[in-house]
Amino acid sequence: MDEGKDMKNRVSIVSAGENGIEAAVRQAIDLAGGLPDLITPRSKVLVKPNLCSPQPSGTGITTDCRVTEAVTKIVLELKPKSVIIGEGAGAGYDFSGSTSTEEAFRVSGTADVAARLGIELRNFNHDEWEEVSVKNPYIMDKVKIARTALESDVIISLPVLKTHLRTLITLSLKNMKGVLPGAEKRKTHALGLDKAIADLNSLVKPSYVVVDALAGMQGLWEYPQDKVEMGLILAGREPCAVDTVGTYLMGFNPAQIMHLQYFAARQRQQADLEHVMVVGEPLESHRRSFKSGYDVFRARYPGVNIIAGESACTGCYGELMGALTAMKEFGDGDALTELTVILGNASRDEVSVTEKTVILGKCARRLAHLGTFAKGCPPMGEDIIRTICRTAGSDADGVIASLDRERNRRWEETKHLLAR
């Protein structure tokens, strides 16, 4: 690596043990190259924490307000033209309804931080927006983005180190979904979440990343049992590199995180550790084995035998989880008994064919003759529902209609939280 490339792909890991959180944030940023080269007196800076729902700081679910405060202080010391802390809380889709951004600001302590520092909080679910075209999109040719994010010269993403049921992990790239106003977030699920995240970040790529790894969150984010104490801060200039390190730190393989791989391919980068320089604390000594949301979820479906090859990724897993949820809630219970699901490049030797066998996605295509095949990379949730129902002799139209009604019900009950 040349010196410029080395700095760009440098990711720091710093312990917040003895010297405290602010000192750790400052050291992590300095080790990863600092902010002076990015922020000038003309810069409009957006500090983007992850406040997906109203949760207190320290839970591992949302960005700790002490990390947000430390980063914002460092930014203010560089005297940019403007600094805004902005977020748009979750709009819900398969598993929840919308949540209040204002309440998330308050409960997390972020509102108090903004008041102490004298800067503005911006609710992106209420912000003015612009519809922007995506050049050479994977899946999303146009997307509405909060105008504040589009007008920012520097975006600092402050994700939390945590797993995610749909995408396996959520770090700096997925954190940018918060700049989508209101219902636009739901569009990313409907079109295909991993590819939509890559498309979004082609328009609003973070300029710098500081990861709150003080406490991580694993499994299905059930507090306090899924909280993982880490005591770390990560930082870096390149989101692809930081997310690669964060993924590995949680015990997962970056090659299986499809939004990361899609984004890296578009940026002509490699999302693997060979192309990252880790500085500060040694990565291996802090690596953990986070429990994935998938593993917890699968345990709730004892009648479903999921056979996944090494190439099985977040695309197929995420769509399958949504489909199984819908089938369990709205379908024939017998459809999810003695059901075999094959995804990824599973070996034929691993598969015991049952009367109800479904094969999902491009990687498993060579085993399509073993049962009912759903094509796509990944196949969408509705297609998986239809495939399972066709195999089990169940009513797919009824399941999908009920799912749509439930999504609409949750949306109607909570959409006032997103209205401008």
The predicted pLDDT at position 389 comes to 95
Burial degree of 272 (CB within 10 A; 0-12, 13-18, 19+): middle
Which domains does the chain show, CATH number per domain? 3-286 (3.40.50.11440), 300-414 (3.40.50)
Phi, psi of 117 (to 5 degrees): -90, -5
The pTM of the full predicted model, rounded to 2 decimals, is 0.86
d(CA 196, CA 199): 5
Written as tens digits, the pLDDT of the chain (420 aa) is 444 556 779 999 999 988 899 999 999 999 999 999 999 999 999 999 999 889 999 999 999 999 999 999 999 999 999 999 999 987 554 545 567 899 999 999 999 999 999 999 999 988 999 999 999 999 999 999 999 999 999 999 999 999 998 899 999 999 999 999 877 887 887 788 899 999 999 999 999 999 999 999 999 888 899 999 999 999 999 999 999 999 999 999 999 999 999 999 999 999 999 999 999 999 999 999 999 988 888 888 899 999 999 888 888 888 898 899 899 889 987 889 999 999 999 988 888 777 899 999 999 999 999 999 999 998 999 999 999 999 999 999 999 999 888 878 766 765 666 555
Alpha-carbon distances, residue 225 vs 217, 220, 229, 296 (angstroms): 9, 10, 11, 13
Contact 155, 207 (CB under 8 A): yes
Question: Could you tell me the two tokens for 115?
Answer: 């008041």
d(CA 359, CA 366): 9
For residue 357, give the DSSP letter. E
The predicted pLDDT at position 183 comes to 76
Burial 340-355 (b: 16+ CB within 10 A, else e): bbbbbbbeeeebeeee
d(CA 355, CA 272): 40
Contact 74, 167 (CB under 8 A): no
Q: What does 99-122 look like in DSSP terms, one character per residue? A: --HHHHHHHHTHHHHHHHHT-EEE
The predicted pLDDT at position 186 comes to 77
Tell me if residue 358 falls in helix, strand or coil: strand
